[in-house]
A and B are shown apart, each in its own frame.
Chain A
Amino acid sequence: MSAPILQLQDVSFAYQKDPVVKQVSLNIHPGEFVGILGPNGSGKSTLLKLMGGLLKNDLGSVLFKETELAQYSRKRLAQSIAWIPQEHPMVFPFRVAEIVLMGRHPYLSPLTFETEKDFDIAGRAMEITDTTHLSGRSFNEVSGGEKQRVVIASALAQEPEIMLLDEPTSALDIKYQLEVLNILKRLNQENGMTLLLAMHDLHLASKFCQRLILINQGQIVKDGTPEEVLQKEVLEKVYDVRIKLFRDHEDGSVMISPES
């Protein structure tokens, strides 16, 4: 196996006093499609932010290509790691193309305009995410699913090696969920993009991700293939519910139904 692209070693983090992430260690290899699962407040978003360098870990170390994140400049990091938030509140009426072009920021110096090359890269990112036809629309006016695709296009314009997505499908209906996940799957398979997604939907996670990391109260409970991680007893304990678990024998994905 190739060298890990992203490593967490005994990472702990607290917003105030109580640690939200406790001594987490894991390795992410290039080209992996990883789902991060866990109940609300288990530390999924925080973990992603630590991996993207948006939060500074209190203890341990976060390494990108075997160098501490803190050693990289902000711009250099943004050229390699993209982070996509769950919500996209936008106060000002930027247009879709402007949002996508903002992804070029880490490559531009102050007092300069985007060049033809930047337009090309942004244009390609919009083709991949099927957002070209939206380019002149106001970002605030497009639908939730379209917003998510636009923001993915903007992240692609950063030309990153890793994309961190915080619940990219939670607010979407099933059609948009599949659209977004299929775009990500294509990126992973065709471009070798390393993907980490915080997710809630266990079924979709098991269908699209090669590897799942289940966390609870800031600690890793289980880390492995969907089959290894999504076990009835484990899930019942972590989510504190009684469930029935079905396995789809065609693709190995898992479906869950609450036991009432």
Chain B
Amino acid sequence: MHTLSLPMMNRRRYLSTIGWFGLFFLVTLVAAPLIGFTHIDLGKALSSEIEFSENVDAMILFLARLPRVLLAAITGASLAVAGAVFQAILRNDLAAPITLGVSSGAAFGAVLAISMGLSFTVLGFSSIPVAAFLGALGAITLVFSLVRTRQGELPTSMVLLAGVTVNFFFAAMVMFIHYLSDVTQSFRIVRWLMGGLDITDYQTVLSICPPVVIGMGILAYIARDLNLISTGSQSALSRGVDVPKIQKLGLVSASLITGAVVAVCGPIGFVGLMVPHMVRLLIGPDQRLLIPASMLFGASFLIICDTVARTVIAPTEIPVGVITALIGGPFFVWLLKKQHWMFGK
């Protein structure tokens, strides 16, 4: 018998925690499509007696609302997991796709692709997601190389400074491209930059699945290595973690999933910052649990935000990015206040 008087991580604790988060996710996933400005009769929507093309309730449910909810789920899950991983690798709990400039990097890539009318495909992916991924990767590489010292330690305050700088740089580039584009492109860009989940279909939802699944799979695989890196890169090295390799794998995978969803929804802020914190408060910082739990909770969180966005002043819809930013701004300030002592270091 071991002497650790603590509910330690084992298969049972893991499965029960994931089970609760999974249940919450399923409830939001099923409930959200039923809520909306137009009332739908579930019995009628699911009825097999009415022709689908004549069943208005079914069309609203399955063609308008469900793909949108699914997109919200994938986007929320991706941004939350990316946030959790950025925070661990940079050892900074204010790190997130938005504060590190990764989202604006992706936005820059996507806007560039939109405005230049680029249309190429790489391995079956169209130009916008590929450009967004490259932009995200470029931003995180820039931040990481700005703050890394020879000994491999990352000065905490530098991380955010570098992130803010990179963010401003890419935001300025986006504005510049926007300024130069014609009216049609300009409208597309503005619509996209506001961050929205409204223009979607099953095809779009399916198209972002492969990069998201691959990225998250890699991150789950290196979860324990990320735990050690989050306690310090030198001590991780001394415990047998191949730190440079894991850092690269982690940053590339997190950029991949960020780029994939930003390409479709635009930069939706603060999900990647808030969700990992909320989850950490509930279950602790162990990445093996934090990654899957952030995934499920991030999905639920964005589904809820989007449901609010499309119902609060219905029939007018607010971009979901507005809702997340409205909640996220104050949350960020609270975190900053809580952590202000860190900036002395």
| B204 close to A (CB within 8 Å) | no
| B340 close to A (CB within 8 Å) | no
Known contacts A15-B150, A78-B239, A127 near B3 by CB under 8 Å = yes
B8 close to A108 (CB less than 8 A) = no
| B345 close to A (CB within 8 Å) | yes
Residues of B within 8 A of A79 (CB): 240
Contact of B241 among A83, A103, A105 (CB under 8 A): A105
The digit string for B273-305, where 1 denotes a CB below 8 A from any CB of A, is: 000000010001110100000000000000000
- The winner among B6, B11, B92, B225 for most chain A CB atoms within 10 A is B6
| A52 close to B (CB within 8 Å) | yes
B11 close to A113 (CB less than 8 A) = yes
| B38 close to A (CB within 8 Å) | no
A102 close to B239 (CB less than 8 A) = yes
Contact of B6 among A49, A89, A97, A116 (CB under 8 A): A97
| A123 close to B (CB within 8 Å) | yes
B150 close to A16 (CB less than 8 A) = yes
Measured in the bound complex, the distance between the Cα atoms of B2 and A132 in whole Å is 11
B221 close to A111 (CB less than 8 A) = yes
The digit string for B1-32, where 1 denotes a CB below 8 A from any CB of A, is: 01111101111001000000000000000000
Contact of B237 among A54, A120, A132 (CB under 8 A): A54
Measured in the bound complex, the distance between the Cα atoms of B14 and A105 in whole Å is 18
| B151 close to A (CB within 8 Å) | yes
What is the number of residues of chain B that contact chain A, defined by CB distance less than 8 Å? 44
B240 close to A135 (CB less than 8 A) = no
Select from chain A the residue with minimum beta-carbon distance to B285. A92
| A241 close to B (CB within 8 Å) | no
Known contacts A78-B238, A106-B239, A111-B221, A85 near B232 by CB under 8 Å = yes
Measured in the bound complex, the distance between the Cα atoms of B1 and A123 in whole Å is 9
Measured in the bound complex, the distance between the Cα atoms of B3 and A126 in whole Å is 9
Residues of A within 8 A of B285 (CB): 92-94
A82 close to B238 (CB less than 8 A) = yes
- The winner among A15, A53, A74, A90 for most chain B CB atoms within 10 A is A74
- The winner among B8, B156, B285, B345 for most chain A CB atoms within 10 A is B8
A52 close to B4 (CB less than 8 A) = no
Interface residues of A in 81-117 (CB under 8 A from B): 81-85, 88-95, 97-99, 101-103, 105-106, 108, 110-111, 113-114, 116
Residues of A within 8 A of B156 (CB): 91
Residues of A within 8 A of B310 (CB): none
A113 close to B284 (CB less than 8 A) = no
| A34 close to B (CB within 8 Å) | no
Contact of B2 among A89, A106, A120 (CB under 8 A): A120
Give the distance to chain A from B105, nearest Cβ to Cβ, in Å.
24
Return 26 A-B CB contacts under 8 Å, by A number. A53-B237, A54-B234, A74-B241, A78-B238, A78-B240, A83-B235, A85-B232, A92-B87, A92-B93, A92-B230, A93-B280, A93-B285, A94-B227, A94-B231, A95-B6, A102-B239, A105-B228, A108-B224, A110-B223, A110-B224, A113-B11, A116-B2, A122-B4, A126-B4, A132-B5, A135-B5
Residues of B within 8 A of A (CB): 2-6, 8-11, 14, 87-88, 91-93, 150-151, 156, 220-225, 227-228, 230-232, 234-235, 237-242, 280, 284-286, 288, 342, 345
With A77-B240, A97-B6, A105-B241 given, can you name 6 additional A-B contacts, CB distance below 8 Å?
A74-B240, A102-B231, A113-B10, A116-B2, A126-B4, A158-B239
